């Protein structure tokens, strides 16, 4: 389900869906435990699993990826960001 360390966009199991939303939140500056987009997953996963996945995957993202801003613009003028592997990436697998 993962490509280059990130979750496949079409993943449909609860943990992969949670990680995918975390990627999006990280990409747009909102990867916090209080972000409403990821709090939805807490009910489905339960507190223990949610906290474990959040702690591990947020560290993984921050250690291995940086955000490239304004990589594209849609027809309404909205700009998009993307995650790119860090140059100083300690994880040589991505």
Q: What is the average pLDDT value for the chain, to the nearest integer?
A: 89
Query: Nearest to residue 21, comparing CAs of 46, 39, 3?
Result: 39
What pLDDT, on the 0 to 100 scale, is given for residue 2? 46
What pLDDT, on the 0 to 100 scale, is given for residue 10? 75
Residue 28 CA from chain centroid, whole number:
10
Higher pLDDT, 35 or 87: 35
Number of C-beta neighbours around residue 70 at 10 A: 9
> What are the residues whose beta carbons fall under 8 Å from the beta carbon of 59, sequence distance 6 or more?
none
Q: Average of pLDDT values for 44-71?
A: 96
| Total-model pTM | 0.85
Q: How confident is the model at residue 90 (pLDDT cuts 50, 70, 90)?
A: low
What pLDDT, on the 0 to 100 scale, is given for residue 5? 78
What pLDDT, on the 0 to 100 scale, is given for residue 4? 63
Where are the chain's structural domains?
12-85
Q: Average of pLDDT values for 48-54?
A: 98
């Amino acid at each position: 389900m993962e490509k280059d360390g990130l979750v496949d966009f079409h993943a449909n199991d609860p943990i992969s869906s949670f990680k995918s939303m975390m990627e999006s939140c990280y990409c747009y500056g909102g990867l916090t435990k209080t972000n409403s987009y990821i709090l939805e997953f807490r009910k489905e996963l339960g507190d223990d699993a949610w906290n474990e996945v959040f702690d591990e995957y947020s560290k993984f993202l921050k250690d291995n990826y940086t955000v490239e801003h304004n990589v594209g613009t849609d027809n309404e003028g909205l700009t998009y960001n993307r995650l790119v592997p860090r140059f100083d990436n300690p994880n040589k697998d991505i």
